[in-house]
Amino acid sequence: MKCLVTLLLLFAASLVAHAETTENMLNACRWVETAKVVDHQMTIPTDFAGGKCWGAFTVLQFAFRIVDGKTDRRPLFSICAPENSTIP
């Protein structure tokens, strides 16, 4: 039953998922160039573009933390991101 639910959720997610062009992502993340950083925290715009860009960074950080359980927990993408890094 769990397998069926998982498959249905993946299918439903694939119906609404779509890829963004590089140009769209660059435009959405343009604010990063001038973002103010205070005490290791940055101010994020509270608009759609800010959310889109921050979401992309969140997905990348999550993906970089994936480890291969069959080996000695080496990062799957061979990127050693700090374990204590966060995205609030």
Where do the domains of the chain lie? 22-88
Does the structure show a pLDDT above 60 at 14? no
Distance, CA of 17 to CA of 88 (rounded, Å):
24
Report whether 87 contacts 61 (CB < 8 A).
yes
0.75 cut: is pTM over it?
no
**Taking Cα atoms as reference points, which of 46, 41, 87, 82 lies closest to residue 65?**
82
Greater model confidence, 88 or 70: 70
Distance, CA of 80 to CA of 77 (rounded, Å):
9
Greater model confidence, 19 or 22: 22
Report whether 67 contacts 73 (CB < 8 A).
yes
Distance, CA of 62 to CA of 57 (rounded, Å):
9
Does the structure show a pLDDT above 80 at 42? yes
